[in-house]
Amino acid sequence: MLIDSHCHLHDLQWFTPNQQAEFLQDAHENGVEKIVCIGTNHEDSLKARDFAATHDGVYWTYGIHPEFANTISEVSELVSSPFQESPEATAEDEDARPPQRRADATSCPEKDGSVGSETLLIAIGEVGLDYHYPGYDRSAQIKLFEQMLQLAKDYDLPVSLHIREAFTDAFAVLDNFPETQGVVHSFTGSKKELKRALERGFYIGVNGLMTYTTPPLPPLERILLETDAPFLTPVPFRGTINKPGYVKQIAAYLATKLEVTELEIAEQTTKNARQIFKI
């Protein structure tokens, strides 16, 4: 079994409903049995929630991408608790309600640490720092990142990290949240930065970038497979929309690169994803 640990299949900006259905079927035909839909802002996260609630084998994350840092003052103003429903919730509180429950859902802790209702929410992400584009607001991004890490800490959830050209600041922020666990999505840092991430216990997201660029390669025991669909389509499908089924191509590429079998890649990366996300 393969797991796509990071994609955006829920987003109708990129996928039509027909494509969503087609790509889910294609994923299953290629052995991709579980898919994690990643939230990038409050509204998008709720769309990921709703998509996960109605499709088997799909999970979601709640996240606010650093590109939205200038639009956010306090995360608590957006949602008091997106993780479990309140007995007094009304129709007006629809956005604060959790997804529908399914038998294969994982348990999500209450804020006090006790286990509450089962939900398909598995992580906080994608969150982090991105200094790639000119005009970024460093202080706003750091403030948002700190709030999202606190949210993960409060609910005892792992994180899906988006860090681009900002590892020095990201590590400094993470120093204040030493118990944080999770995955560095789509890693593009240096060998030294990879070493620091691994020493902190993070898993590393490997996607189609690996098939046409040369980022440092983490050990198999710390790799999660991901597509970031619709982005970062792997070779030999460059120029077309990415989809979760292409996890199989990434696994095949890694098998050649690491000189192991595709079965070993599938078994270890699935074990890794299950361990960090509890799916």
Question: What are the tens digits of pLDDT across the range 142-153?
Answer: 999 999 999 999
2-277 architecture in CATH?
Alpha-Beta Barrel (3.20)
Pairing of strands 58-62, 121-130: parallel
Cα(227)–Cα(229) distance, integer angstroms: 5
Helix (H, G, I), strand (E, B) or coil at 132: coil
Other CB atoms within 10 Å distance of the CB of residue 168: 11
80: pLDDT confidence band, cut at 50, 70 and 90? low
pLDDT score, position 72: 81
51: pLDDT confidence band, cut at 50, 70 and 90? very high
Cα(124)–Cα(90) distance, integer angstroms: 25
Cα(144)–Cα(71) distance, integer angstroms: 10
Other CB atoms within 10 Å distance of the CB of residue 130: 18
115: pLDDT confidence band, cut at 50, 70 and 90? very low
Task: Tell me the whole-structure pTM to 2 decimals.
Answer: 0.88
Instruction: Please choose, from the candidates 33, 49, 61, 152, the residue with its C-alpha nearest in 3D space to the C-alpha of residue 101.
Output: 49
Across 131-149, b (16+ Cβ under 10 Å) vs e yields: beeeebeeebbbbbbbbbb
Whether the pLDDT of residue 134 is over 80: the answer is yes
> Tens digits of per-residue pLDDT, 208-267?
999 999 999 999 999 999 999 999 999 999 999 999 999 999 999 999 999 999 999 999
Across 195-226, b (16+ Cβ under 10 Å) vs e yields: ebbbeeebbbbbbbbbbeeebebbebebbbbb
